[in-house]
């Protein structure tokens, strides 16, 4: 079942969740500070993509972290799209600050103001599960990419942040954290992509988090539903379980990650 975070409410996504970078930054902080992988996610992603000259479209660009942190070798224009005008503005600033010829367009992923077959690359990073009907977003990316172009779609798998999902289930008696991978995850995403592309290749990212500050974990859990809507007693219960996790790990809370990206080629026309 959809919810406001995973494909249920575009107004919430636009105005509340991604109206400003604050909530996303709380989640990114946990990943960036406590990663154990030798390279950061965006750097890994950029290195895995075989870039070729031409226009690059990012669907659901957020605040532009990919361009500022990874600095991929782009030979062409960068078009940044997002449902949130605030995110597009932030992304344009960061991409141009990194030296890219960048422009932005405020638009939903399932209705992009871009002509057919105009992009050499389309990048979609952990956002398709926000689309009310993810296959519509996939179809739109297949429409705008060139015949010899590449679409890169990143998402999470069923075991992503499993330790935090366990806390959410205990406090909120819900599986809302699993709704993103049910909407579009590594396990079910392939079938949606293969409906629109001749070739779909999965590449996985290996990492785990070893957090040392309980507040950063609590901030992560409070940045999206159900944690962002927690009552005072639920917040206290969530904090107690986080503290217990740190105590069990002698001051370190280890959190598994399960993420990757699909490289999609050969868009099916019509």
Encode pLDDT of 13-37 as tens digits.
988 898 888 899 999 999 999 999 9
CB neighbours of residue 130 within 10 Å: 27
Mean pLDDT value across the chain: 94
Asked if the structure places residue 96 within a domain, the reply is yes
Asked if the structure places residue 214 within a domain, the reply is no
Report the range of poorest mean pLDDT among 70-79, 175-184, 236-245: 175-184
Q: What is the CATH number of the domain that holds 118?
A: 3.40.50.150
Query: Which runs of E-coded beta strand occur in 126-226?
Result: 145-156, 197-205, 208-211
pLDDT of 79 > 80? The answer is yes
Asked if the structure places residue 89 within a domain, the reply is yes
Asked if the structure places residue 81 within a domain, the reply is yes
Closest to 49 measured CA to CA, from 258, 210, 265 = 265
Give the pLDDT confidence score for residue 15 in this predicted structure: 86
Asked if the structure places residue 170 within a domain, the reply is no
pLDDT class of 1 with cuts at 50, 70, 90: very low
Mean pLDDT, rounded, for 220-227: 93
Closest to 151 measured CA to CA, from 266, 267, 269, 264 = 264
Q: Give residue 53's domain range.
A: 10-158+176-208+259-267
Asked if the structure places residue 19 within a domain, the reply is yes
Exposure string of 16-52, with b = 16+ CB inside 10 Å and e = fewer, is bbbeebebbebbbebbeebbeeeebbbbbbbeebebe
| Model pTM above 0.85 | yes
Give the residue carrying structure tokens 């005008």.
85
Q: How many domains does the chain have?
A: 1
Residue 124 tokens read as 């979609």
Mean pLDDT, rounded, for 184-197: 97
Asked if the structure places residue 251 within a domain, the reply is no
Asked if the structure places residue 133 within a domain, the reply is yes
């Amino acid at each position: 079942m959809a919810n406001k975070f995973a494909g249920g409410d575009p107004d919430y996504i636009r105005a509340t969740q991604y109206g400003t970078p604050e909530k996303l930054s709380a989640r990114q902080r946990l990943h960036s500070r406590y990663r154990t992988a030798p390279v950061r996610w965006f750097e890994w992603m950029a290195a895995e993509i075989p870039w070729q000259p031409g226009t690059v479209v990012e669907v659901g660009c957020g605040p532009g972290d990919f361009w500022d942190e990874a600095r991929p070798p782009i030979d062409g224009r960068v078009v940044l799209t997002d449902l949130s005008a605030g995110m597009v503005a932030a992304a344009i600033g960061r991409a141009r600050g990194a030296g890219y010829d960048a422009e932005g367009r405020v638009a939903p992923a399932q209705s992009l103001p871009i002509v057919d077959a105009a992009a050499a690359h389309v990048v979609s990073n952990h956002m398709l599960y926000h689309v009310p009907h993810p296959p519509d977003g996939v179809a739109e990316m297949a429409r705008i990419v060139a015949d010899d172009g590449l679409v890169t779609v990143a998402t999470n798998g069923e075991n992503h942040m499993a330790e935090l999902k366990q806390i959410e289930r205990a406090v909120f008696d819900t599986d809302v954290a699993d709704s993103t991978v049910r909407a579009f995850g590594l396990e079910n995403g392939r079938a949606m992509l293969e409906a629109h592309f001749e070739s779909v290749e999965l590449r996985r990212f290996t990492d785990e988090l070893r957090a040392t500050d309980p507040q950063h974990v609590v901030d992560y859990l409070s940045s999206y539903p159900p944690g962002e809507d927690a009552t005072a007693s639920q917040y206290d219960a969530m904090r107690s379980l986080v503290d217990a996790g740190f105590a069990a790990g002698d001051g370190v809370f280890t959190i598994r990650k399960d993420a990757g990206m699909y490289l999609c080629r050969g868009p099916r026309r019509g």
